[in-house]
Amino acid sequence: MTAAAQGSGTLWKRVLTFGGLGLILVYCLAPFYWMAVSAFRRPSDQFELTALPAPFSLDNLTAVFSPAVGFGRSLLNSLIVAGVTTILTLVIGVSAAYALARLHFRFKNAVAALIIATSMFPGISLLVPLLSLFTDIGWINTYQSMIVPSLSFALPLAVWNLTAFFRQMPEELEQAAMIDGCTRGQAFRKVILPLAAPGIFTTAIITFIAAWNEFIIALSMVNDSTMQTATVAISRFTGAYGFDQPFGTQMAAGVIVTVPLVVVVLMFQRRIIAGLTAGGVK
């Protein structure tokens, strides 16, 4: 599937590719490296500028997981909220995108415009009406009070993106399958979905991360610390005294919430890419 690279294995091209990869890695990871370094310094030399933490210390990490904070529980909450959001977004988004990409009905453009229009209002201004609504219907301190907003923030992108991907799939493929006796649903499931896997997978990653990082809704809708998500927990880290800001602890927590995401993506994408190759795209 990367025939462009396989075919022309010239040295020049390889140097360029690897140079590019190196640049990307540095660009993406340098600030993160600084975050990690800050996380592994001792709190007492938090603001040193040395390139390596000296001495290396796990104090900040220990502080994140001190029993009083309950950060493990917060991580679990984040996982539940982001996981459910992602699954629902994909299910709802795929159906909507299928309708927009394949069905012929009136007002299609208006529907698509309306969906994206919901991404145009400043999120910060939705907060108070939403709080009022959720208070009235008794949703305060529930998972759904965080899942449903995250779902609605993620849906427009998911629908549009998936529509674009489904549209790229030649309609003839499905028609061929339907001629072979598949129903419309089967044709979609067996032909289009696997082919659009990169798009679905990417949508899933983006949705999951956006939900995982959501802060202001989770902060406003939940006041029970056993229900709080990781980002909210981080905002509640306190220093030892007054204005003292626990920078190191916050950075350590930042590393803790970022690394698992990356590892999970790494594992998943291997499987997805492997699955694609096995299925034989073309």
Partner 1 sequence: MGVRTTAARATAALGVAVLLASCGSGGDQGGEQPSGALEGRGEVTFATGKDTSGNMQKLVDEWNASHANEQVRIIELPESADAQRQQMVQNAQVKSDAYTILNLDVVWTAEFAANRWVVELPADQFELDKFLQPAVKTAQYRDKLYAAPVYSDGGLLYYRKDLLDAAGQKPPKTWAELTTACQAVKATQPAIGCYAGQFEKYEGLTVNFDEAVHSAGGDVVDANGKAVVDSPEAKAGLDALVTGFQQGIIPQKAITYKEEEGRRAFQAGELLFHRQWPYQWSLAGKADGSSQVAGKFDVAPLPGLNGPGSSTLGGHNFAISAFGKNKATALDFIKFFTSETAQRSNLLATSQAPTLASLYEDAELIKQFPYLPTLKESILSAKPRPQAVRYGDVTQAIQEAAYAALTGERTSDVALKELQTKLQELLK
Partner 2 sequence: MTAVARRARGATSGAGRLAAALLSPTFVVLGLVVGYPLVAALRESVFREGTDLDESGFVVEGARFVGVDNYTAIFVGESAARFWNAFGNTTVFTVITVTLEVLLGVGMALVMHHAIRWRGIVRASILVPWAVPTAVSALLWRWIFQADGVANAMIGQQILWTTEGWQAKFAVILADVWKTAPFVGLLVLAGLQIIPNDVYEAARVDGASPWRQFWQITLPLVKPALLVAVLFRVLDALRMFDLPFVLIGSRKESVETLSMVAFDEASSLRFGPAAAYATILFVYVAVTALVFVRLLGADVIGAARERARK
Q: By CB under 8 A, name the one of 24, 34, 45, 175 that touches partner 1.
A: 45
x/- letters, 204..243, toward partner 1 (CB under 8 A): ---------------xx--xxx------x--xxxxxxxxx
Out of partner 2, partner 1, none, what residue 192 binds, judged by CB under 5 to 8 A for its kind, is: none
Fill in the per-residue mask, 103 to 132: x = in contact with partner 1 (CB under 8 A), - = not in contact.
Answer: ----x-xxx-xx--x---------xx--xx
Residue (46 or 203) nearer to partner 1, CB: 46
Instruction: List Cβ neighbours of 120 (8 Å cut-off, separation of 6 or more).
Output: none
Find the DSSP H helices in the chain: 3-7, 11-39, 59-64, 71-102, 108-117, 127-136, 144-168, 171-179, 184-187, 193-195, 197-213, 216-221, 230-235, 247-279
Cβ–Cβ < 8 Å for 147, 88: yes
User: Which among partner 1, partner 2, none contacts residue 243 (Cβ within 5 to 8 A by kind)?
Assistant: partner 1
- Please state the closest distance from residue 153 (CB atom) to partner 1, in A: 18
Choose the binding region for partner 1 from 43-51, 145-153, 160-168, 268-276 (rule: CB under 8 A).
Answer: 43-51
- Please say whether the beta carbons of 40 and 47 come within 8 A: no
Tell whether the torsion through CA atoms of 235, 136, 77 and 160 is positive or negative: negative
7 interacts with, out of partner 2, partner 1, none, CB within 5 to 8 A per kind: partner 2
CB of 278 to partner 2, least distance (A): 15
Region of residue 107 (phi > 0: left; psi between -120 and 50: alpha; otherwise: beta): left
Tell me the C-alpha distance between 107 and 84, whole Å: 31
Interface residues with partner 1 (CB under 8 A)? Answer: 43-47, 68, 107, 109-111, 113-114, 117, 127-128, 131-132, 135-136, 140, 219-220, 223-225, 232, 235-245
